[in-house]
Amino acid sequence: MSSTLLAPARASATVADVAVHADGVGRAFDSPTGRNQVLRAVDLTVAKGEIVAIVGPSGCGKSTLLRLIGGLDRPTAGTIQVGGSQVTDTDERTAVAFQEPRLLPWRTLAQNVQLGLRRGTKQRAGKDRIAQLLELVGLDHAAELRPREVSGGMAQRASLARALARNPEVLLLDEPFGALDALTRLRMQDLLLDVHAAQPTTVLLVTHDVEEALYLADRVLLLRALDADEPAAASIARTIVVPGDRPRDRADAELARLRAELLEGLGVDTHHSH
């Protein structure tokens, strides 16, 4: 059976099991040279608890799609639903973590995590939640430190904890480990899987790293232009269902085969890449 099936069985489950649904989503921007179509006819269904990675060439609209799902931007065509209701603005059902930690330098790590709590959270419950999350991401010893006093990896862990603080239905990660060194990046990938196992929220992850996508995700979506006449307008060109349960063996031969398939889809000649 082909690995490029459109979806695993659970992603076409009942409406109650659907976390994110995008139907015919497009996004165009007006520019001095005319209208620039970035996304066209994106259809997407993500099941509750699923981890879905989005890969594609630079500038193809991956981050734009994430922003639309998070309500940080509006589509110019189509609709997006989270938890069965339409996304019209930012709301507390989604949380975003970016490539840069974006911590407030004058606040401690604990105080930065506190910013992610839902409005109206009672003080005692909030303190318990912050302590629980700092322990979950291995920062309980650093709660009172400020961002300048910790490493980049620790700052990114605090950013992840802040995004999880409101217990979001959908966690949106935009190149969350892209600025980290290679070893810290691998550790953060494992941490994300640990966090997901402990609190299985739905995760959409934008990444340039094909190996990262295959290691973390249940499905990998390849976003790229399908129409040569409109090279800027991207859609979902391919969906790869990643076999096996997490955590996966990074050296697995099937993952290596899927890596070559994805790189080929990205226009990389795998016979000359290492």
Would you say 20 and 170 are in contact if contact means Cβ atoms under 8 Å apart? Answer: yes
Please give the pLDDT value at position 230.
66
Segment holding 71, helix H or strand E:
none
Please give the pLDDT value at position 118.
86
Distance CA 109, CA 147 (A): 7
DSSP letters, 237-266, are: EEEEEPPSPSSPPTT-HHHHHHHHHHHHHT
Query: Could you tell me how far CA 59 lies from the centroid of its own chain?
Result: 16
pTM above 0.95, yes or no: no
Please give the pLDDT value at position 146.
95
240 beta partners: 220
Please give the pLDDT value at position 272.
56
- CB-based contacts of 101-108 (< 8 A; 24+ apart in sequence): 101/147, 101/152, 101/155, 101/156, 101/158, 101/159, 102/159, 103/147, 103/155, 103/158, 103/159, 103/162, 104/147, 105/146, 105/147, 105/148, 106/146, 107/146, 108/143, 108/144, 108/145, 108/146
Please give the pLDDT value at position 233.
84
Q: Which amino acid is at 61?
A: G
**Options 3.40.50.720, 3.40.50.150, 3.40.50.300, 2.40.128.20; which CATH number does 1-91+202-274 get?**
3.40.50.300
Would you say 84 and 17 are in contact if contact means Cβ atoms under 8 Å apart? Answer: no
Would you say 262 and 220 are in contact if contact means Cβ atoms under 8 Å apart? Answer: yes
36 beta partners: 29
Give, for all 274 residues of the chain, the pLDDT tens digit.
333 333 333 444 456 799 999 999 999 988 888 888 899 999 999 999 999 999 998 888 899 999 999 999 999 999 999 988 899 888 788 999 888 889 999 999 999 999 999 888 888 888 999 999 999 888 999 999 999 999 989 999 999 999 999 889 999 999 988 888 889 889 889 989 988 998 899 999 999 899 999 999 999 999 988 776 666 789 898 899 998 888 888 888 988 899 988 888 887 766 654 4
